Structure 1
Amino acid sequence: MEKKGEDVNGIMKKEQDKLFDPSEAPPFRINDIRAAIPKHCWVKNPWRSISYVFRDAIVISALLAAALYFRSWFFWPFYWVAQGTMFWAVFVLGHDCGHGSFSDNPILNNVMGHILHSTILVPYHGWRISHRTHHQNHGNVEKDESWVPMSEDLYNSLSSRTKFLRFKIPFPLFAYPVYLWHRSPGKTGSHFNPYSNLFAPQERKHIMTSTTCWIAMVVFLVYLSSVIGPSMTFKLYGVPYLIFVAWLDVVTYLHHHGYEQKLPWYRGKEWSYLRGGLTTIDRDYGIFNGIHHDIGTHVIHHLFPQIPHYHLVEATKAAKPVIGKYYREPKKSGPIPFHLIENLVSSMKQDHYVSNSGEIVFYQTDPNLFSPPKSA
């Protein structure tokens, strides 16, 4: 029998007894949340969606023109951060296309999705399908796809080098390209390979299309390098791309990790779509909320990915009375969300693996992960 205060799956039981238990089955149904959201929040306006594409394209073009005009080291750092942030905003719009929240027209969604994602070296259909898997299985240790916890056995099987790269900042901030090619530890397959186990046979033609578009963008960048030089291409595109990747990794990680109270992950019969979705976390990104299309309103997005991004704030406000304590109010940010650095660093130091067994599990910590090797 477990003693009071004994460490159970990474959380102190005596502390858990004092706090609201987020792993308890909620007393409401997903239809109760759906009913609380105003009907107009479900309406997709393709012209409004396209207007955001034009907005982002204008900003990206203006930044590019300014960089070519100044060509000065005093301007490059600003350009890199601003343009990388805009690449991330473009990704979010392509992400909406993948969910079908951009419009009700699948052809428009896929055409715009390919244009938006190919320009930032994301294989649209490959990502769309794996991201669909993530949404359908969020919070499920065995089936989730994005930043999914490793079991203790899998974690222990990794080399010290792999663990270091996985948890030591800044390396995890640039994991996304590796994920596209190799997925996460314990999983196999590539987002570019139509015969990957990520995809069903009927989806192979879609993967071929997206991979072809990705290759076309790479060819364009190679050609651009031959015209303006590799150094200038790296300044104009390469560094912003790395900033975009960092944005993507930080945001997607913090939407599922780094909350002040440990949150549950599920296996087997304890998992449900609703319980998994309620473990996601909203974040306040300060001045960037509007720039990257309110991606911080993540709980309602996870439960109802069909809702357009421009209705998520209102939908979240309407749903909070139903969700109650299962909704974790995001900490208010200043203009720049520096407060999230602490959440990220703390989680990387503490959230390493989950128990090999159990249908409700919490992250556990490897106390020796960053310890120097002991001398003989």
Structure 2
Amino acid sequence: MLVRQQVLAFPAYLLFNVSGQKNYPKWTNHFDPNSILFRKHQRNAVIISNFGIITMCYFAQRACAIWGAAEVIKYYGIPWLCVSHWFIMITYLHHTDPELPHYRNPQWNFQRGAAATVDRNFLGWMGRFFLHDVAHFHVVHHFFPKNAVLPRT
């Protein structure tokens, strides 16, 4: 389960909204510029991001042809897995704590679900800087998922 979670969870979330909002339309994903996940003014940014991903895939394919797949995996694939691991691990830690309540369907609502998370002072100032405060202000993200602007302190 750990390997599945660490290797496949983030791509599955981006591509298929796995573990995302259950009430979103069936084919919700992070690559559709018209997705419910984005506001209209973000459409062009999603298109540019998609173009960047396609470009990177092209360069990775070309690098495999020139230097071999083993080199690309060593210098690109493994670092990507490490970043993905940190992201998934931090998200997992935000949502698991012995003090957090677990609600069943009759008691669960958006506010209770949003509050059932914790902030983590992860890696101190380095976590704040390198992880863009994602660990320090996770609860705020749950209450204001579409427009939370995180304070810098």
Relative to the length of structure 2, the TM-score reads 0.69
Is the alpha carbon distance of 1:190 and 1:220 closer, same or farther for their aligned partners in structure 2, counting shifts above 3 Å? same
List gaps (5 residues or longer) in structure 1: 1-167, 312-376
Whole-Å separation in 2 of the counterparts to 1:291 and 1:223: 34
| Identity in percent | 24
Kindly indicate whether residue 96 of structure 2 is the aligned counterpart of residue 258 of structure 1.
yes
Mark the CA change 1:205 to 1:297 in structure 2 (over 3 Å): closer, same or farther.
closer
Larger radius of gyration: 1
The Cα shift of 1:206 comes to: 2.7
Matched, 1:210 2:49: yes
Question: What's 1:172 paired with?
Answer: 5
Provide the residue aligned with 1:283 in structure 2.
120
Whether the 8 Å CA contact 2:117–2:139 is kept in 1: the answer is no
Matches within 5 A, 1:1-376: 168-174=1-7, 175-184=9-18, 186=22, 187=24, 188=26, 189-201=28-40, 203-255=42-94, 257-263=95-101, 266-267=108-109, 271=111, 276=114, 278-285=115-122, 288-292=123-127, 293=129, 295-298=134-137, 302=141, 305-308=149-152, 311=153
| Superposed displacement of residue 284, structure 1 | 4.5
Give the letter for the 1:296 counterpart. A
Q: Aligned partner of 1:282: which letter?
A: D
Residue deviations 1:146-199, cap 9 Å, x none?
Answer: xxxxxxxxxxxxxxxxxxxxxx32312230011111112545312112233433
1:261 deviation in Å? 2.2
RMSD: 2.9
SS at match of 2:97: coil
Deviation at 1:212, TM superposition (A): 0.8
Counterparts of 1:222 and 1:291, CA distance in 2? 33
Give the letter for the 2:109 counterpart.
R
Paired position in structure 2 for 1:49: none
- Paired residues in the alignment total 134
Asked if the contact 1:289/1:295 (under 8 Å) is kept, the reply is: no
Contact 1:301 1:307 in 2 (8 A): no
**1:92-146: CA deviations, max 9, x gaps?**
xxxxxxxxxxxxxxxxxxxxxxxxxxxxxxxxxxxxxxxxxxxxxxxxxxxxxxx
- Could you tell me how far 1:301 is from its partner in structure 2? 5.4
Partner amino acid for 2:6? L
Q: Distance in 2 between matches of 1:198 and 1:283?
A: 25
Measured after TM superposition, the shift of residue 250 of structure 1 is 1.0
Structure with larger RCO (C-alpha < 8 A, sep 6+): 1
Where 1:170 maps in the other structure, the secondary structure is: helix
Indicate conservation of the 8 Å contact 1:280/1:298, yes or no: no
**Deviation string, structure 1 residues 278-314 (Cα, Å, up to 9, x no partner):** 43313344xx434333643235754763312xx2xxx
Q: Does the CA contact (< 8 Å) of 2:96 and 2:117 recur in 1?
A: no
Mapped to 2, the partners of 1:182 and 1:207 lie a distance apart of 16
Amino acid at match of 1:169: L
State the distance in 2 between where 1:194 and 1:295 align. 23
Q: Which residue of 2 aligns with 1:55?
A: none
Find the aligned partners of 2:41 and 2:135 in 1 and give their Cα distance: 33
